[in-house]
């Protein structure tokens, strides 16, 4: 058999019959730059969580009814992902043609400018426009995963994608800390930010901090990031360039609609849908008063709680991800992460009931800690599903399109998740559905459905299955 003599649309992304003595060393500098770019994503998205509900309340679009804050906050949180879903596939496919680096750089510019516009917004519609621009101009999520896939192979991909999970955890630490610490600086740091501008724009400073970090990442990528896309690398040999051009053409969407891609993308959607509903609901639950089913925390407190979760998540991923995957397997960890959402959502009404009866006491804080611990388990699932998606790509030249399809699908889930969870919360307390707890019944039901979908993933990665078939033949 001479299966590696030719490469076509059905060639595996990784050659299963390649013999390797051990894991191939990672290109540390390039991996670090990609991780720096990825860090911008969670910082940008999570930095608004500590203050978004107060921002909506301050716009006076709720008519003074605190129970309606969830509707508008969820809409603002969803707009980025909805508009991203429109363009992310196009950005990913463009990166297959012109390279990963120019698309990544353009996305960073769009992210930085949209954050500044968000901080300057004083009306609901300017908030809407800024979040829409951010989604339309930024397709980096899928492109970064494609670059990571091209910098790794089957021997070291688990290690590299564990770094992506750690980086996301670090971002979810820094984002809320930036948002909570630097919001309303005229109250927290009046000697420095006591001017009228900061009173009129109380949430501009955290947006400036985030935009500055994105600008730093842009500079690093511009100077040091190397191209990874096949056929676009400057130092590729003439033979490699000729071969890449001979097979590079637009990838038809229907060629990606095969079982490995579909089941991997579907589970990624389910994980992202549950996660974004949780992350949108948690700060709303923390913000709302105890009387209507929340805990009544301040933005700084919310920022510290979410920041501590992110820090713990990063340490947990760094110390235990590889060991846990080796012990329980990629599929087992992913299924376990999905299962963990069930007790998480069940603990919300318990926390609310305890707070209404006894106020914010030790029991409430212990329950919050338990929720955060269970959230650590759900975060492990991301590194696992990223490996499934990368392995499901038909070949190297379909990797960008495969990640684009995955990110488009996930962006739709991320767009509707915040609206659903926060609106259900507001509807439940406004109409007193099931004592105000109907939202949690719905979320637990969705979690159970996601567990059944997760169970359909194969025990082995796609290239491992293909390798077994070749050995048997």
141-190 pLDDT, tens digit per residue, is 778 888 887 888 766 776 777 788 788 778 877 888 888 889 889 888 88
Residue 225 carries which DSSP code?
Answer: P
The DSSP line for 422-462 is HHHHHHHHHHTGGGGTHHHHHHHHHHHHHHHHHTTS-SS-H
Higher pLDDT, 325 or 233: 325
pLDDT at 217 over 70: yes
Query: Would the pLDDT of 305 be above 50?
Result: yes
**Tens-place pLDDT, residues 401-446:** 777 788 788 878 877 888 888 888 888 888 888 888 999 999 999 9
Q: How confident is the model at residue 1 (pLDDT cuts 50, 70, 90)?
A: very low
Quick one: pLDDT at residue 463? 57
Question: Mean of the per-residue pLDDT values for the chain?
Answer: 81
The more confident residue out of 248 and 290 is 290
Q: Any alpha helices (H) in 18-155, and if so which ranges?
A: 28-46, 52-59, 69-98, 100-120, 124-137, 140-151
Q: What is the pLDDT of residue 440?
A: 93
What's the average model confidence in pLDDT over 97-118? 91
Given a cut of 50, whether residue 48 has pLDDT beyond it is: yes
Record the tokens describing residue 473, joined without a space. Answer: 């033949």
**Alpha carbons 60 and 123: distance in angstroms, whole number:** 9
Please give the pLDDT value at position 307: 78
Higher pLDDT: 335 or 158? It is 335
Q: What is the mean pLDDT of residues 29-49?
A: 89
Do the Cβ atoms of 403 and 161 come closer than 8 Å? no
Mean pLDDT of 14-24: 52
Range 354-374 burial, b when 16+ CB lie within 10 A, else e? bbeeeeeeeebeebbeebbeb
The pLDDT confidence band at residue 301, using thresholds 50, 70 and 90, is confident
Separation between Cα atoms, residue 390 and residue 463, nearest integer Å: 10
Residue 339 pLDDT exceeds 60: yes
Predicted local distance difference test score (pLDDT) of residue 348: 94
**Top-confidence residue, 209 or 81:** 209
Residue percentage of the chain with pLDDT more than 90: 27
Question: Which whole number is the average pLDDT over 108-124?
Answer: 90
pLDDT at 53 over 70: yes
* Tens of pLDDT, residues 361-370: 999 999 999 9
pLDDT score, position 252? 61
The whole model's pTM is what?
Answer: 0.70
């Amino acid at each position: 058999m001479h299966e590696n003599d030719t490469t076509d649309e059905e060639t595996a992304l990784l050659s299963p019959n390649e013999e390797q003595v051990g894991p191939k060393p990672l290109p540390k500098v390039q991996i670090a730059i990609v991780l720096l770019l990825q860090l911008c994503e969670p910082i940008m998205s999570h930095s608004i969580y500590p203050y978004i509900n107060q921002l909506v309340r301050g716009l006076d679009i709720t008519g003074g009814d605190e129970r309606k804050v969830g509707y508008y906050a969820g809409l603002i949180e969803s707009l980025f992902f909805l508009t991203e879903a429109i363009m992310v596939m196009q950005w990913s496919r463009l990166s297959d043609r012109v390279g990963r680096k120019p698309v990544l750089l353009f996305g960073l510019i769009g992210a930085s400018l949209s954050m500044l516009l968000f901080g300057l917004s004083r009306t609901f519609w300017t908030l809407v426009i800024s979040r829409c621009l951010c989604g339309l101009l930024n397709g980096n999520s899928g492109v970064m995963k494609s670059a990571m896939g091209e910098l790794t192979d089957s021997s070291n991909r688990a290690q590299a994608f564990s770094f992506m999970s750690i980086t996301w955890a670090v971002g979810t630490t820094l984002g809320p800390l930036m948002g909570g610490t630097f919001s309303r600086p005229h109250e927290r740091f009046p000697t420095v930010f006591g001017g009228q501008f900061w009173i009129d724009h109380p949430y501009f400073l955290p947006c400036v901090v985030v935009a500055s970090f994105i600008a730093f990442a842009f500079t690093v990528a511009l100077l040091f990031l190397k191209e990874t896309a096949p056929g676009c690398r400057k130092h590729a040999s003439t033979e490699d360039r000729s071969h890449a051009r001979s097979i590079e053409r637009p990838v038809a969407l229907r060629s990606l609609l095969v079982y490995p891609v579909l089941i991997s993308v579907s589970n990624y959607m389910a994980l992202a849908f549950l996660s974004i509903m949780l992350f949108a609901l948690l700060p709303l639950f923390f913000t709302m008063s105890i009387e209507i089913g929340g805990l009544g925390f301040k933005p700084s407190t919310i920022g510290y709680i979410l920041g501590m979760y992110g820090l713990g998540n990063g340490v947990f991923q760094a110390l235990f991800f590889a060991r846990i995957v080796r012990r329980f397997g990629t599929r087992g960890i992913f299924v376990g992460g999905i299962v963990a959402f069930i007790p998480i959502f069940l603990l919300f009404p318990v926390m609310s009931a305890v707070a209404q009866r006894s106020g914010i006491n030790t029991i409430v804080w212990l329950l919050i800690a338990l929720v955060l611990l269970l959230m650590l388990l759900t975060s492990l699932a991301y590194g696992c599903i990223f490996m499934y998606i990368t392995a499901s790509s038909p070949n190297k030249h379909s990797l960008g399109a495969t990640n684009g399809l995955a990110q488009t699908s996930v962006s739709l889930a991320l767009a509707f998740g915040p609206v659903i969870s926060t609106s259900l919360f507001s509807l439940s307390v406004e109409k007193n559905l099931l004592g105000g707890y109907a939202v949690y019944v719905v979320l637990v039901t969705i979690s159970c459905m996601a567990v059944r979908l997760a169970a359909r993933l194969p025990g082995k990665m796609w290239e491992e299955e293909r390798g077994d078939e070749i050995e048997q033949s």
